[in-house]
Amino acid sequence: MKDAETISARLLSGDRLALSRMISWAEDGDDRFPASLSRIYSKVGRGWRTGITGPPGAGKSTLVNELARVFRQGERTVGILAVDPSSPFTGGALLGDRIRMEERTKDPGVYIRSMASRESHGGIARATVDACDVMDAFGFDELLIETVGVGQAEYDVVTAADTVLVVLCPGAGDGIQAMKAGLLEVADVLVVNKKDRDGADRLLVDLEEAVHTREVRTDQWEVPVLPTNAVAGEGVEAVIDAVHRHRAHLEAGLLESVRRRRRVDQVKRVVGERLEDELWGGRRLGDRVEEGLDRASTPYDVAEEVLASILGGNLGAPAGDSRSEAARR
Ligand SMILES: Nc1nc2c(ncn2[C@@H]2O[C@H](COP(=O)(O)OP(=O)(O)OP(=O)(O)O)[C@@H](O)[C@H]2O)c(=O)[nH]1
Ligand SMILES: [Mg+2]
């Protein structure tokens, strides 16, 4: 793995091409990635990861741009990852984001990268965590991860973050819809963007009510609801202040366990992906499925056969199996 060695050394010396290369390896599931990650992993854990999610068009990219601007005024370096889990390629929306962020891209203290899902299964969440680890090891102080909040794949992506900002705006993606979509559940900070628009005050009040009437969070954090006008850069400092407060809150308590749980999730994703490749990649089991179906069995019968052949026929009697429990009673 000469390549992995070279790239990780270059990354640690501040080479941005190496940074981009490693993120591409993560994205492609390249087998050079694990070896290169292990060479930089001791540097992971210093950057703060802020996820920005919310309905399409809520103003996430505009806010990310503003957050980056304010961080830069404070001499903090910023790595930005725009993740589009539902797109099989880096499409138009992200391209538009890139143009808006042009001002930021000229700044050597800012790195911007978009990522899209190339495969249908959950690889994008795994790749997001990998990309964050790589940017973190590179040395960015602040990591910003933007993703559209619409479904499960996006929630998986957002769990890569230490602090989650949910950006809403009056109109299309109003509070009720956000609640239905479960967006409020993932929020550490709620942002009501487009506060210059009609309905913003109403949305603020609704969300504050929703936050306060909800059961107290197990982590004792009170979710702030903050108005912004991202285009005018208004309210952005208050958002950053909330991120800092949330960071201090986690650092005083749950941070280690939260990050550990996130690593556990990542291990599970890697195992899942590898298993899937092993099982179906070599067509070994694929052939078995075809044969089973030729015998006119149901998909369940064939699946049982396949599982039995993998697990050595011990299906149905794992440790602590409910039937054996019942027999003992
Ligand atoms: N009036 C007003 N317009 C805003 C504000 N923030 C963003 N916009 C506009 O809303 C539109 C969408 O903004 P984006 O930042 O692209 O929104 P987004 O959430 O990143 O959109 P997607 O990534 O496509 O989901 C743009 O035309 C912005 O200029 C705001 O505070 N007030
Ligand atoms: Mg956007």
pLDDT, tens digit (0-9, with 9 covering 90-100), for 189-213: 999 999 999 999 999 998 898 888 7
Looking at the structure, do residues 79 and 175 belong to the same domain, yes or no?
A: yes
Per DSSP bridges, beta strands 142-148 and 225-227 are unpaired
Rounded to whole angstroms, the Cα distance separating 92 from 214 reads 38
Q: What total of structural domains would you count in the chain?
A: 2
Looking at the structure, do residues 53 and 30 belong to the same domain, yes or no?
A: no
Q: Cα–Cα distances in Å, from 180 out to 84, 154, 212?
A: 21, 15, 17
CATH code of 231's domain: 3.40.50.300
Per the domain annotation, does 163 fall within a domain? Answer: yes
Domain that residue 218 falls in: 45-235
Beta-carbon count within 10 A of 250 CB: 20
Contacting residues for 129 by C-beta, under 8 A, at least 6 apart: 160, 262, 266, 269
Q: How far is the CA of 186 from the centre of ligand 1 (A)?
A: 21
Q: Cα–Cα distances in Å, from 287 out to 206, 208, 279, 290, 291?
A: 56, 56, 11, 5, 6
pLDDT, tens digit (0-9, with 9 covering 90-100), for 244-278: 999 999 999 999 999 999 999 999 999 988 888 87
Per DSSP, 329 falls in state -
Which residue CA neighbors atom 10 of ligand 1 most closely? 59
Query: In terms of pLDDT, which residue wins out, 84 or 68?
Result: 68
Pocket test residue of 61, 62, 65, 192 for ligand 1, highest count of atoms within 8 A of CB = 62
Confidence band, pLDDT 50/70/90 cuts, at residue 324: very low
Per the domain annotation, does 7 fall within a domain? Answer: yes
User: Residue range 130-137: average pLDDT?
Assistant: 96
Pocket test residue of 102, 146, 231 for ligand 1, highest count of atoms within 8 A of CB = 231
User: Residue range 86-91: average pLDDT?
Assistant: 49
**Tell me, what's the pLDDT at 179?**
65
Sheet containing strand 110-116, strands side by side: 110-116, 78-84, 142-148, 48-54, 163-168, 189-192, 225-227
Per the domain annotation, does 167 fall within a domain? Answer: yes
* Structure tokens that stand for 279 in this block: 């099982």
Looking at the structure, do residues 12 and 72 belong to the same domain, yes or no?
A: no
Confidence band, pLDDT 50/70/90 cuts, at residue 174: low
pLDDT, tens digit (0-9, with 9 covering 90-100), for 158-168: 888 999 999 99
